[in-house]
Structure 1
Amino acid sequence: MRKYFGTDGIRGRANGIITPDLALRVGQAAGLMFKQNGDYRHRVVIGKDTRLSGYMIENALVAGFTSVGMDVLLLGPMPTPAVAMLTRSMRCDLGVMISASHNPYEDNGIKLFGPDGFKLKDDVEMQIEALIDSDLTARLAGSANLGRAKRIESVHARYIEFAKRTLPRQIDLEGMRVVVDCANGAGYKVAPETLWELGAEVVSIGVDPNGFNINHEVGSTSPETLIHKVRELRADVGIALDGDADRVLIVDEKGQKVDGDQLMGVVARSWKEDGRLSQPGIVATIMSNLGLERYLSGIGLGLVRTAVGDRYVLEHMRAHGYNLGGEQSGHIIMSDYTTTGDGLIAALQLLAVVKSMGKTVSEVCHCFEPLPQVLKNVRYKSGKPLQEATVIKAIEAGRERLGASGRLVIRPSGTEPVIRVMGEGDNEDLINRVVDDVVDAVTQAASQVAA
């Protein structure tokens, strides 16, 4: 059982779960773990999004790393994929991103990357957890061996150039009017600049962070503002990032949303035609729409499903040689370029397809009709409602009613005390009834456990 790490690092309420003391100990524990490799000055790179609590957590991490003799390179606000890239580029032993992704400003989190730019494996996280709860006093560095901290300039330019180089040299965005919504988050500087340097006419929203407004009525989880702006300006496309810019939502010129499933379908088709797919298919999660699976099958490609979480998608991609995968939420992993989801690079790859085809975004990006999908959340306080006999019975009954014409997916969230109930299939009325029945059972079981 994990005590601190979830599916995407350590996450929780700032000064609730994520305290300065915890951040200090994470820095010490992770620093000690990664100082075991060789006798040299070990370095860690730290980036963050724009939350107010980022200052507090950043300083606590710096204290932790330097106290065990690790040098710290500070990036300031940068996208999560940029931190992963810079960890490798700057030859660091460890990368850290301070962010709670799409969560509100009150939350924050700590994500760790290894020297290869990939998120840490489960067993490494477990070893760090054990160190966090141990007595670290005797393992602190001596006075002459403490680490140093340095703020790095020009990191934005490095990432912008990296993002641009993922496109063929002959592709630019000249003639495209693009609205980009940066969620008042980590991508607020680099995303508009990258699009402008590629020749697009750029209108930016969600680029005025104040510590409190990250993801507030903007970004990929609140696309209404972007949809309105795209329609108002008659833009060719809208791009919405989340708080740490590792996921993306596209809005076409008509104001229609294009989620990660549609985006993966477009890129998979294009890469298949260009001979760029390393395997005859892609990797997605159990939450991806059945319509995507049927569409890919129709063009001769397969869909492999994993547990929810981009780390599990990536693990399967690495183990089996896939170079394209992602989540319906917009975490798109293109391993030819990145070691984690990258919202900006995914958007650029999509725009490259649009430009090369000479069609509108709506013509290119709605490549299949998604099956009706219903997702409901049940919040609980304690216990394990999914293990209750009444819930197990309701789930089995629901799956039997759906048969081969649909799917029922029930899972606990990895980042908050919520159970997610998702159903999809050809019959929307049936899906709604099945999901409601399971939700009722889970809700009742959760209330009994709480009592």
Structure 2
Amino acid sequence: MFGTSGIRGVVGEEVTASLALDVGRAVASEGARRVVVGRDPRLTGPVLVDALTAGLRECGADVVHLGEVPTPTVARAVEWYDCDAGITVTASHNPATDNGIKLWSEDGSAYIGSQQEAIAKRVRDGDFSLVPWDEFGSCFRSRRARDRHVDAIVDAVPGDLDLDVVLDVGNGSGRITADALRRLGCRVLTMSAEPDGSFPSRPSEPTAENCERLRRVVASTEADLGIAHDGDADRMRAVTSTGEFLTGDVLLALFARDVARSGDRVAVPIDTSIAVDTTLEAIGASTVYTKVGDGHVAERTRETDVVFGGEPSGAWIWPDLARCPDGPLAAAKLAELVARRGPLDDLAAEIEDVPLRRKNVETEAKHDLVAHVADAVSDRYTNVTDIDGVRVDVDAGWFLVRASGTQPLVRVTAEAGVRSEMESLFDTAMEIVEEARVAVAPQASD
């Protein structure tokens, strides 16, 4: 039921009002007495929120209803409103056809592991603690969470940034980034800032291809940088003043280097570039690998020497401020870094350029495919890691094959110090994946 980032799927198929009702019942039945709820702008969000809050309330939980807000606003509001849990109705960067449900713990980190398993079991078994009619929970609507989020960002970042920033909201929930940056002294030009859950301006995921218009606008103006969010603004990606769309690994290395000191560690998922390792090694810091998913990264940041966590997909966590990926906060942090240390082009050039390639392979049998890959590589290689998918390390570099936790895809990554060796590793990985796809095809059709 749960992927790497909550529950997601096509509305009317994997995600329904009935499912939302049961998830609300399950969260309350697990003991949450007060729950904060919000949603992204997707057109199906209001119906799913209605069902979700009904399930919470008929099992005795009180609801703080935030309406349409960024996902990190919901996660941070768990503490602000003294709640036991938070729930966002969102499919993040997925297409407009999809929606989903993401659950937040008392400390603002995503549900993972046993927490997810407990909810899934209750939904599967229909095991809910319904209360009598006169013990239903209440619903309180708050309009202040958005402003409170902006205040928190401004308090966390030194002001007077004096920068020109282009912000591509992508018709999502991230327009609060413009409010925060302006209060910090930036001049902000917004693009696609009107929330629209059909995402008419570009696909919700902020990739280099989807952000081509942002790249052109930044390069053709006097802007110092460009910022892009996904539909619920938990992700943040960036464009330099010359219009270069930075890889997530470069951003991760820049943020990590700025936060970490000698002896510190940074939590990163297993698909992260070795450029991050080498960047941190130069200052006496190091990385620690986790499964892919911000919840797993956040869990590792509870360790006292882990000072930052991030994912190349665009999720950034400053654990001393919040244990959720906070796109608007990350935008302000990046702007402050540019104001303090100079142009983003120059900062990015300081990070080692290690040849890396990623590709998504569409398949409806992703887990079977990865299992077949695991069997295949176990006979060919000695250094195989299965913390998340299958990673193979060799002298020249590494490759990783893992099932997407949010979409019907298998993600293939390869990296090596020399481009020809990286391409060879990537080709090898793709050959193994194609062999596996053929092998599992009969299972997929059954």
Instruction: Name the structure 1 match of 2:409.
Output: 418
- The 2-side partners of 1:129 and 1:369 are apart by 43
The question of whether the paired residues in 2 share the 8 Å contact of 1:181 and 1:226 is answered with yes
Partner in structure 2 of residue 240 of structure 1: 228
* Range with greater deviation from structure 2 (124-133 or 159-168): 124-133
Measure, in 1, the Cα distance between the counterparts of 2:197 and 2:374: 44
TM-score by length of 1: 0.89
Question: Using the alignment, how far apart are the partners of 1:69 and 1:196 within structure 2?
Answer: 41
Deviates more, 1:391-400 or 1:239-248: 391-400
Among candidates 71, 75, 81, match of residue 62 of structure 2? 71
Deviations 1:234-291 (A, max 9, x none): 311001111111111110101112233222322333334xxxx495231211111122
Kindly indicate whether residue 419 of structure 2 is the aligned counterpart of residue 428 of structure 1: yes
Alpha-carbon spacing, 1:136–1:256, altered in 2? closer, same or farther (3 Å): same
* Aligned mates of 2:317, 2:383 — CA distance in 1: 31
- Of the three residues 237, 243, 248, the one matched with 1:249 is 237
Cα gap change, 1:417 to 1:242, in 2 (>3 Å): same
Q: Of residues 9, 12, 16 in structure 1, which corresponds to 2:9?
A: 12
For residues 228-377 of structure 1, the aligned pairs below 5 Å read 228-272=216-260, 277=261, 279-319=263-303, 321-357=305-341, 359-377=342-360
TM-score by length of 2: 0.90
1:223 aligns with 2:206: no
Matched residue SS, 1:446: helix
For the pair 1:187 / 2:171, whether they are aligned, the reply is no
Counterpart of 2:255, as a letter, is V
| 2:207 is equivalent to residue 213 of structure 1 | no
Shift in alpha-carbon separation, 1:215–1:286, aligned structure 2, 3 A:
farther
SS at match of 1:319: coil
Distance 2:48 2:436 in 1: 36
- Could you say if the C-alpha distance between residues 367 and 347 of structure 1 is closer, same or farther in structure 2, counting changes exceeding 3 Å? farther
Q: Which runs of 5+ in 1 are unaligned?
A: 36-41
Assess, with a 3 A threshold, how the Cα gap between structure 1 residues 136 and 269 changes in structure 2: closer, same or farther.
closer
Please say if 1:54 is aligned against 2:45: yes
Contact map agreement 1:104 1:215 (CA 8 A) in 2 = no
**1:449 maps to which residue?**
443
2:73 aligned partner: 82
Q: Distance in 1 between matches of 2:154 and 2:404?
A: 35
Distance 1:227 1:173 in 2: 22
Structure 1 residues 317-374: Cα deviation after superposition (integer angstroms, max 9, x where no partner)? 21353121111111111101111111121221222122122x2121123321332212
CA distance in 2: counterparts of 1:269 and 1:397, whole angstroms: 33
| 1:153 aligned partner | 143
C-alpha distance in 2 between matches for 1:95 and 1:278: 35
CA contact (8 A) 1:317 1:324 kept: yes
Determine the C-alpha separation between the residues in 2 that align with 1:355 and 1:54: 38
Q: Deviations over 1:90-125 (max 9, x none)?
A: 101211111111101111111111222222241122
Deviates more, 1:318-327 or 1:92-101: 318-327
Superposition pairs of residues 96-107 of structure 1, within 5 angstroms: 96-107=87-98
Q: Which amino acid aligns with 2:284?
A: G
Question: More displaced, 245-254 or 401-410?
Answer: 401-410
Instruction: State the Cα RMSD in Å.
Output: 2.4
Q: Name the count of aligned residue pairs.
A: 432
- Indicate conservation of the 8 Å contact 1:260/1:330, yes or no: yes
Distance 1:370 1:181 in 2: 26
Structure 2, gaps ≥5 residues long? 385-391
The residue type equivalent to 1:234 in the other structure is E
Q: How far off its partner does 1:160 sit?
A: 0.5
Give the equivalent residue in structure 2 for 1:203: 189
Whether the 8 Å contact between 1:104 and 1:216 is mirrored in structure 2 is no
